[in-house]
Amino acid sequence: MVGWTKQIELPADQPAVSIKEQLTMWHVPRRIRGNFRIARRIYLNGEYQPTSTILKPHDVLLLHWLPTDFITPDSHYVPDDSQSLQILYENDELLVVNKIKGVKTHPNSPGEDGTMMNFAQAYLVKQGKRAYMVHRLDGQTTGALIIAKVPYVVPMLNQLLHDKTIKRTYLAWVDGHLPQPMGTINLPIGEHPTNTRLRQINGINAKPAVTHWTKIKTVYQQTLVRLQLETGRTHQIRLHMAAIGHPLVGDDLYNQQSNYAGGLLLHSASVQLPIPFSNDIKSIGAPLPSSFPANLK
């Protein structure tokens, strides 16, 4: 049968929940759970069982997905092996890579190459798999980027991002001295009325956005901060820090006063990632690139 198959042996401490409840706990979308049940594409210890069946420790579940389960069952990124990936973590279904400064996350037009998804596609084609985008980082941002290798974990990871179960931590240099040791910025972000490249606080179709920041150190007139996101709006960190009077150093969009020639100083320092179909949580760090200084003058 064409598609993707996953076999999971349940752990010794498996709770007595139904197959349906377990799939829900794994964030398998409701529509796909229904497809499994209707087409009998879920097996328990080698036999189809109703989704009301209660699971036991060391039971073996086998799930089978079809292309029709997904809006985008295949990815069509052009493979580009001109840049090698720095792999921070990898298993059979996903990888976390250290994104390169000045490289886009994904192409904006068919046939485009030179992006992280193109580099990942070239890497995964050798494994007989393909790259699927989970989230994105701005072109000038470096650091930890999650990429799926199979389509069935994409909606699961998207739900974990939406629920804030995946924790993302950033480092950034900002202008000025922050008087408080930490703070929270809660300002909606929407579209800019005249420039599609920009976003705006309380802009068109604004959505809630929450950023937590902690001051690490101040060097002359710049401050290094650690940031954690509750939401993932486009340009969220850049907009939020600019809105409180501390725009990011090197930000050519929201810091018109910056004369730093090294580009945007924003780094995705780590992700705390629950591994799909398991109880494991991995904390994956991305080393600072040489373009991100320890001190600014």
Q: Please say whether the beta carbons of 218 and 173 come within 8 A.
A: no
Give pLDDT tens digits for 200-251.
999 999 999 999 999 999 998 899 999 999 888 999 999 999 999 999 999 9
Separation of alpha carbons 88 and 140, rounded Å: 19
* Residue 138 among the catalytic residues: yes
Q: Is the pLDDT of residue 1 over 70?
A: no
The reported pLDDT for the residue numbered 62 is: 97
pLDDT for 297 equals 59
- The stretch 37-60 carries a mean pLDDT of 96
Per residue in 265-297, pLDDT (tens digit) is 999 999 999 999 999 999 999 999 988 988 775
pLDDT of 132-172, one tens digit each? 999 999 999 999 999 999 999 999 999 999 888 999 999 99
Query: Would strands 60-65 and 42-44 be described as parallel, antiparallel, or unpaired?
Result: antiparallel
Alpha-carbon gap, residue 210 to 190, rounded angstroms: 13
Q: Which residue has the higher pLDDT, 177 or 2?
A: 177
d(CA 24, CA 51): 11
Q: Which residue has the tokens 């490249």?
A: 197
Domains and CATH numbers, the chain: 4-69 (3.10.290.10), 87-163 (3.30.2350.10), 167-268 (3.30.2350.10)
In percent, the amount of the chain with pLDDT more than 70 equals: 99
**CA separation (Å) from 285 to 111, 145, 214, 224, 279?**
32, 10, 18, 18, 20
CA-to-CA distance for 249 and 191, rounded, in angstroms? 23
**Whole-number average pLDDT of the chain:** 94
Note the pTM of the prediction, 2 decimals: 0.92
Q: Which of 138, 251, 252, 280 is catalytic?
A: 138
Confirm if 78 and 118 have CB atoms less than 8 A apart: yes
Percent of the chain with pLDDT over 90: 87
